[in-house]
Amino acid sequence: NSEDVRCKCICPPYKDHSGHIYNKNVSQKDCDCLHVVEPMPVPGPDVEAYCLRCECKYEERSSVTIKVSSAILLA
C-alpha cells in the first residue's frame, strides 16, 4: 500500500526561511531533499546548502497491523 511508506524530511530554518517538515510517498532510493522538498523554498544557488541541513528518513508501517491492534484494544 503506497500510504504505508513515506519519506519525511525535517529542514531547519535557513536564512530568511522558517523550518519545515516535508512528507512524500517516494521509494527508499528517492528519499532525499531533492525528491521530497517541493516547492523548493530557496533559489538555485542555495539548494545544496539548504538540502545539506535537512534530515530525511524513510518510514514504513503496516496499516493492517495497526487496524488489527486497534480493534483488539477496543474490543
Per-residue pLDDT tens over the stretch 41-57: 999 999 999 999 999 99
Q: How many beta carbons lie within 10 A of that of residue 65, not counting itself?
A: 10
Q: Which residue has the cell 524530511?
A: 9
| Alpha-carbon torsion (50, 57, 68, 73), positive or negative | negative
User: Which domain range does residue 30 map to?
Assistant: 5-73
User: Could you tell me which residues come within 8 angstroms of residue 28 by beta carbon, excluding any fewer than 6 positions away?
Assistant: 5, 7, 58
Confidence of residue 3 (pLDDT cuts 50, 70, 90): low
The number of distinct structural domains making up the chain is 1
pLDDT at 74: 86
By CB atoms closer than 10 A (0-12, 13-18, 19+), residue 7 is buried
Q: Of all helices (H) and strands (E), which one includes residue 37?
A: none
